[in-house]
Homo-oligomer: A and B are copies of this chain.
Amino acid sequence: MKKAAELFHTKGYTATTMRELAQVVGLEASSLYSHIKSKEELLIHLCFTNAKKFSDGIEEAEKQDSSVCEKIEFLLNQQIKIALEDGTSVTVFDDEWKHLSEPYLSSFLQIRKDYQRRFLKIITHGIEKKELIDISPSIIMNTLISSIRWVHLKPELLKQTGMQDLSKDISQIILTGIKK
């Protein structure tokens, strides 16, 4: 599974063949089918495992008895942590979900939509409480989510900077920019 994520990450899902995947785990392609049902099963697992991590994160943020800024900082931290712990998996989640077939595709999009809806709600609440600047919540959310979508591609920065500091620096940039 981890090897699959690495290949999907570097080559993309469609461009990765079962033969290649078999080779990196030291088997013939046909032998893989004793362990998995299909190639797509791997993609499904990777996409939904990450979707769950993100959903769990936002649920935890919602429960917290804290300011909106603290909630957002928590979410940023948590997502940076996920990206650094399993970067290849995050790539698949970010970029390769589109190759899911139905009904998995619709299900995945539904989960993602729900996540964004809840994130938007937190931001909107922050604007109402005048914790955040009065900019379109949608613009703020997309900028927030995107701004950390490079961390998983730079594992070498983690070693230089350390996760705690990296997370703190990014949070500082983004939070300063949206605080009122």
Contacts and interface: CB of A to CB of B under 8 A. Distances in A.
This chain: how many copies in the complex? 2
B98 A169 contact: no
Contact of A157 (B15, B98, B138, B178): B138
A46 interface: no
Contacts of A170: 139, 143
B177 A11 contact: no
A119 to B, nearest CB: 13
A109 interface: no
A149 B147 CA distance: 8
Interface string A150-176: 110010010011000010011011111
Contacts of A14: 12, 14-15
Nearest to A176: B177
A15 B97 CA distance: 13
B161 A150 contact: no
Contacts of A148: 143, 146
Nearest to A10: B98
A128 B135 CA distance: 31
A114 interface: no
A9 to B, nearest CB: 10
Interface of A: 10-12, 14-15, 95, 98-99, 133, 135-136, 138-140, 142-143, 145-151, 154, 157, 160-161, 166, 169-170, 172-178
